[in-house]
Amino acid sequence: MFITFEGIEGSGKSTQIRLLMPVLQAKGYDCITTREPGATKIGEKIRAILLDSSHSSIFSITELLLYEADRAQHVREIIKPALQANKVVVSDRFSDATTVYQGYARGFDLKLIEQMHHMVVGSLKPDLTIILDLPVDLGLKRAWERINTQSTHVREDRFEKEDLAFHERIRQGYLALARLEPERFRVIDASKDPETVHKKIKEIVDAVLGA
């Protein structure tokens, strides 16, 4: 079972994944959490290049290829072996993030991105994708609070520095994907408090795992 979490900046994905894991483990599932970009040793280096705010000169095509490179490594090194071992894999972002950030928001052709995904991940698709949806101003407020208290060496704020219109395109991109594939996506109101959001996610994951 392959579950992914998606959403705009500050949507609370990592908090919700942290809350979900013990629930899955208590039910006896062997599960792992992972993320994009940066789940592998090579991916960590790619993540540092991608998110460093001093890299404002990065070209959109470079950015697109680096996300796909990170994913190529991630799928082969972590996701596929775990799924083959019958684990539940919970990933903080996956291919949909490229469709939305590089496609809907940066303007790359969606067909081209689909072809790249075909090359990089083959037929692998999440069984369930949870979109944590909230207004962009609220998400960005939360994201900046987190960044300003982070003690990491490199400031990971290259995307947060984009304007509101960019983040709105991302939000609308995710909602558009959810409308295109309603059987895979579940959209959750993430403006609510973390416990309420967690309860909703638990219900959804229970239903999908039980099915």
User: 10, 24, 101, 185: which one contacts ligand TMP (CB under 6 A)?
Assistant: 101
Cα–Cα distance for residue pair 23/34, rounded to 1 Å: 17
Q: Looking at this protein, which amino acid is placed at residue 128? A: L
Minimum Å gap between C-beta 76 and ligand TMP is 16
* CA 177 from centre of chain: 14
Stretch (H or E) spanning 8:
none
Stretch (H or E) spanning 194:
helix 194-210
Stretch touching ligand TMP by CB under 6 A, among 91-99, 123-131, 180-188, 198-206: 91-99
User: 93, 171, 186, 198: which one contacts ligand TMP (CB under 6 A)?
Assistant: 93
Minimum Å gap between C-beta 93 and ligand TMP is 4
From the list 77, 87, 97, 122, the residue with the least C-alpha distance to 2 is 87
CB 78 within 8 A of CB 34: yes
Binding mask 31-60 for ligand TMP (x = CB under 6 A): -----xx-------------x---------
Reported residue count of the chain is 211
Q: List the structure tokens of 149.
A: 């208290």
From the list 32, 34, 33, 197, the residue with the least C-alpha distance to 130 is 197
Minimum Å gap between C-beta 26 and ligand TMP is 26
Q: Does 174 bind ligand TMP (CB under 6 A)?
A: no
User: 46, 75, 88, 97: which one contacts ligand TMP (CB under 6 A)?
Assistant: 97
Q: Does 4 bind ligand TMP (CB under 6 A)?
A: no
Q: Which residues in this chain contact ligand TMP in the complex, by CB under 6 A?
A: 9, 36-37, 51, 67, 92-93, 97-98, 101-102, 159
